[in-house]
Amino acid sequence: MLTTSLRVALVQQDTAWQDPTTNLGRARGFVGQAAQAGARVVVFPELFTLGFTMAPEPFAEPLPGPTCDAVAALSREFGVYLVGSVVEAHAPHPRNAAFVTAPDGALVAVYRKIHPFSYGDENRHYSGGDDCPRFEIDGIACGLQICYDLRFPEPFRSLAARGAEVVFVPANWPARRINAWSTLLAARAIENQMAVCGANRVGRDGAGLDYPGASALHDCFGEVIAKGDATEGLVVGDVDLDALRAWRERFPALKDRRVGVYSALEQKNEPPMNTDEHR
């Protein structure tokens, strides 16, 4: 029998800068609150044990490894799925990775951020991933993306084409671009007829950036199910899978894609303009 509803809790934490011990210690309280609220899935922000650090090497670890094991223990203790993240050891640079643990502690999925944030020099310190896994939670097809990935529609469309119904997006999205965050969460939901759940941190990080929360769950119409303000705590909402599946059945927009035409358009693109000639 298909699951018809999924309760998701998004954690808006004020991450202690580069302090895994403190952040993991506080994680138990958030997960306990989410479990009491009836959440089946709990989503932490991007690099929730560290903050969005550009000095990842000292914190790099295997996956699974200590952080994943600690999160898995919380999954077992509270009987929930958890979305965590970690600096994964990798050459030539570590990877910004998100992972999912199950109520029995099993590692369900691992996703490595495909698009390092070059505007913030993340690409100089982290290697990008090259896969976009689809996985299941209680029979619901799901996917993961991380923060800056939200600006790129292709991975979301790839997940939708493989049947994904819910995508979780851990993030460290700063206040100065928060309108883009909210708009893009809704856009990815609308264009793929999926629920998109974005968990963003609050507070100020060690690099001096401010984060306003605004974590949100969007349904398959792009409408807000639940949304947070700039306060630390949980954003909890229910994804209606029946409504999502009915909408996809009634309005099968994804079937109207013309992939061959898109490929041809890409091939017809002219080379980039030589900006040196226009200075």
Q: What is the pLDDT of residue 274?
A: 54
* Residue 278 falls inside a structural domain: no
Q: Is 243 helix (H, G, I), strand (E, B) or coil?
A: helix
Burial code (b: 16+ CB inside 10 Å, e: under 16) for 218-252 equals: bbbebeebbbbebebbbbbbbbbbeebeebbeeee
Burial code (b: 16+ CB inside 10 Å, e: under 16) for 162-176 equals: eebbbbbbbbbbbbe
State how many domains the chain has.
1
Angle at which helix 153-161 crosses helix 178-192, to 10 degrees, equals 30
CATH number of the domain residue 30 falls in: 3.60.110.10
* Residue 162 falls inside a structural domain: yes
For residue 270, indicate whether it is catalytic.
Answer: no
* Residue 180 falls inside a structural domain: yes
* Residue 233 falls inside a structural domain: yes
Using a 10 angstrom Cβ sphere, with 0-12 exposed, 13-18 middle and 19 or more buried, the burial of residue 65 is middle
Ranges of residues in the chain with a pLDDT under 50 are 275-279
Active-site choice (113, 122, 132, 220): 113
* Residue 269 falls inside a structural domain: no
Q: Which domain holds residue 156?
A: 5-253
For residue 147, indicate whether it is catalytic.
Answer: yes
* Residue 276 falls inside a structural domain: no
* H or E segment and range at residue 28: helix 20-36
The token duo for 165 is 């119904």
Q: What is the pLDDT of residue 271?
A: 62
Active-site choice (147, 165, 197, 220): 147
* Residue 273 falls inside a structural domain: no
Active-site choice (46, 88, 122, 165): 46
Q: Is 3 helix (H, G, I), strand (E, B) or coil?
A: coil
CA–CA separation, 186 vs 231, rounded Å? 21
Q: What is the pLDDT of residue 273?
A: 54
CA–CA separation, 7 vs 39, rounded Å? 5
Of the CA atoms within 13 Å of residue 214, those in its CB half-sphere come to 19
* Residue 265 falls inside a structural domain: no
